[in-house]
Amino acid sequence: MESCRDLHGGSPLAERESANDKFDLIVVGGGMVGSALACATAEAGFKVCVLEMREPTRSWPEDEVDLRVSALTRASQRVLENLDVWERMKSLRISPYTDMEVWDEGGSGRIHFNAAEIGEANLGHIVENRVTQLALWERMESLDDVDLRYPARVSQLLLDGSQGVMLDDGSHLQAELIVAADGRDSQIRSMAGIDTKGWDYDQHAIVATITPEQHHGYVARQRFMKAGPLAFLPIDDGRCSIVWSTSPQEAEQLMAMDDAAFCHALGHASESMLGQIKAVGPRGVFPLRLGHAETYIRPGLALIGDAAHAIHPLAGQGVNLGFLDAATLADTVIEARKAQRAIGAFSTLRRYERARKGANMGMLAVMDAFKRAFSNEIPPLKLARNLGLTLADRSGPLKDLLIRRAMGLSGELPSLAKYQPHGN
Ligand SMILES: Cc1cc2nc3c(=O)[nH]c(=O)nc-3n(C[C@H](O)[C@H](O)[C@H](O)COP(=O)(O)OP(=O)(O)OC[C@H]3O[C@@H](n4cnc5c(N)ncnc54)[C@H](O)[C@@H]3O)c2cc1C
C-alpha cells in the first residue's frame, strides 16, 4: 500500500523498521548484570538491544556515598577490567579492603582474613552500585553494536516463531535470544511462566553510611547476632557503609529512631568496635527474600543475575554471582556462534545453565545454612559455630579455601573473569 512506503523510495516502511529492530540479543534490564552482558557480547560482534526502565544517575555530590554498595570480588574486578570499565570506576571511587573479620555475638568464635597471607594486595573492593552502573552504561553508549533504549517497557514476550518482545509503545523487536536481567521481581521471568523457589527470610536489611569515631583500617567487619548479621564495609574516606539485617519489627523501630538514637543503637550492636558512631546519613530498608528460578532457560530465553537468583546479602555475593552468569552466558553464545550453532537453541543454552545453576544453588544453600546457624541459640549449635569459626581460623588450608571462594577465585571461571594481559 502506497501509504506504507517510505517517501524517499526503497523498501516498505514496515520492512525497513523491522530490519532496524532485529538483534542477536535483547537484554531486558540494564542494571549492573545486564549491562555487563551487553558490553561483553557487543564487543564480540553481536548486535544487542538493551531495554531499561530508567536512566541511571549520572552525577552526585562528591562527598555523598550511595546507600547501595557491593563488595566486589576479584573475579568481578577482572570482569570489569576486561570490559574496560574498571579505570572509570576507580576515577569515581572504589574502596579496597585488606582484611575481613567475622565474629559471633556473645561467643568466642572469630575468624580473620588478611590479604597479605595469601599474597594479595587486598581482598576486594567496596563499590557504590551507581559507580559500577554508570561506568558500564557509558561503555554501552560507546559501543556501536549496543542499541540502548530507555525508558522502555515490555508489554509482551514472544517465544514462538516471531521470537522477540512487544514494547508499550507498540514496537516489535526481534532477537534470537532474549535475556532477562530485570532483577529479583523479573517481569520477563513471570511472562515466561518460570516459577521461583524460595522464602522470606523474615529479615529486613537497613543500609546507611556512618562515620565511626575510629578509622576502619580497611577492614570489612561482620558480627553475627541472633536477629541477623551486621556488616561494616569500609569506604576509603574513613566512613563505613552498613548493612544491618534484623527482624522486620526491629527494623521498623530502628528506622523510626532519630539519628542520635540510631547511632547509639548501632554503637551498642557493634560492640563499639570502632568507638562511638558520630554520624549517620539517610537510611534505607530492604526486605530480604530467597528466590531461585526453577529453570534459567527456555528456548530463546535465558535468565541472569537477580532474575535467576536472589540471595541473602550476608556474604555480599549477589552481584558477583550475576557477573559470573553474564560472563558465562557471553562465553556460551560466542562459542555457539563460532561453531555455527543457534545462540537461542535450548541445547546451546543448556551449557550456560549447567555451568551456573549448580554453582549458584551451592552459594544460596551455604548462605542459607549460615543464616540459620547464626540465628539459632540452641547451645550445641552455638558451641559448634564458635568452634567452627575458631578452628577455621587456625586451619591454614581451610582458611585459604574459604578466602579464595569469597574472592570468587575457586572453581571453573568464564574467560571474562580470568586475568587477560591486554585488560587494564
Ligand atoms: C541490602 C543489600 C546489600 C547487598 N550487598 C551486596 C554486596 O555486598 N555484594 C553483592 O555482590 N551483592 C549485594 N547485594 C545484591 C545486589 O545488589 C544484587 O545482586 C544486584 O543488584 C543484582 O543486579 P541485577 O543487575 O541482576 O539486578 P538489579 O540490580 O535489580 O537491576 C535490574 C535492572 O533492570 C531494570 N528493570 C527492572 N524491570 C524492568 C523491566 N520490566 N523492563 C526494563 N527494565 C527493567 C531496573 O531498572 C534495573 O536497572 C545486596 C543486596 C541488598 C538488598
Q: What is the pLDDT of residues 372-399, one digit of tens each?
A: 666 655 555 566 666 666 766 766 676 7
Confidence of residue 230 (pLDDT cuts 50, 70, 90): very high
Q: Which amino acid is at 17?
A: E
Q: What is the DSSP letter of 29?
A: -
Pair 266, 244: CB distance under 8 Å: yes
Q: What is the mean pLDDT of residues 354-380?
A: 74
C-alpha cell at 363: 552459594
Grid cell of 256 as nine digits: 523510626
Residues flanking ligand 1, CB < 6 Å: 28-34, 51-54, 70-71, 153-154, 181-184, 187, 205, 207, 243, 286, 305-306, 313, 316-320, 322
pLDDT at 240: 98
| Contact residues for 399 (Cβ-Cβ < 8 A; gap 6+) | 111, 113, 117, 392, 393
Query: Is 174 in contact with 160 (CB distance < 8 Å)?
Result: no
How many beta carbons lie within 10 A of that of residue 214, not counting itself? 11
pLDDT, residue 102, reads 87
Report the DSSP pairing between strands 309-310 and 154-158.
unpaired
323 neighbors 33 (Cβ within 8 angstroms) = yes
Ligand 1 centroid to Cα of residue 396, in Å, is 35
| Position 8 pLDDT exceeds 60 | no
Q: Rounded to the nearest whole angstrom, what is the distance from the C-alpha of residue 80 to the centroid of ligand 1?
A: 16
Instruction: Name which residue sits closest to atom 48 of ligand 1, judged by CA.
Output: 31
CA atoms within 13 A on the CB side of 299: 9
Q: What's the 219 CA to ligand 1 centre distance in angstroms? A: 25
Lowest mean pLDDT among 160-169, 241-250, 254-263: 160-169
| Number of the ligand 1 atom closest to the C-alpha atom of 245 | 1
Nearest protein Cα to ligand 1, atom 12: 318
Nearest to 181 by CA among 50, 90, 288, 77: 50
Ligand 1 pocket: which of 166, 306, 324, 328 to mutate (most atoms <8 Å of CB)? 306
Confidence of residue 118 (pLDDT cuts 50, 70, 90): confident
Percent of the chain past pLDDT 70, that is, above it, reads 87
CATH number of 13-94+128-198+289-377+413-417: 3.50.50.60
Beta-sheet strands, E only, within 213-365: 219-225, 228-234, 240-246, 277-280, 284-293, 297-298, 301-303, 309-310
Between the alpha carbon of residue 394 and those of residues 104, 116, 118, 388, the distances in Å are: 16, 16, 15, 10
More confident residue, 72 or 362: 72
Return the higher-pLDDT residue of 347 and 388.
347
Mean pLDDT of 334-357: 97
For position 314, what pLDDT does the model report?
76
Burial of 392 (0-12, 13-18, 19+ CB in 10 A): middle
Overall average pLDDT of the 291-295 stretch: 95
Mutation to probe ligand 1, out of 153, 232, 319, 360 (largest number of atoms < 8 A from CB): 319
CA separation for the pair 351, 212 (Å, rounded): 47
Cis peptide before 299 (omega within 30 of 0): no
pLDDT at 345: 97
Report CA 367 to chain centroid distance, whole Å: 15
CB 211 within 8 A of CB 335: no
Amino acid identity, position 187 = Q
Confidence of residue 424 (pLDDT cuts 50, 70, 90): very low
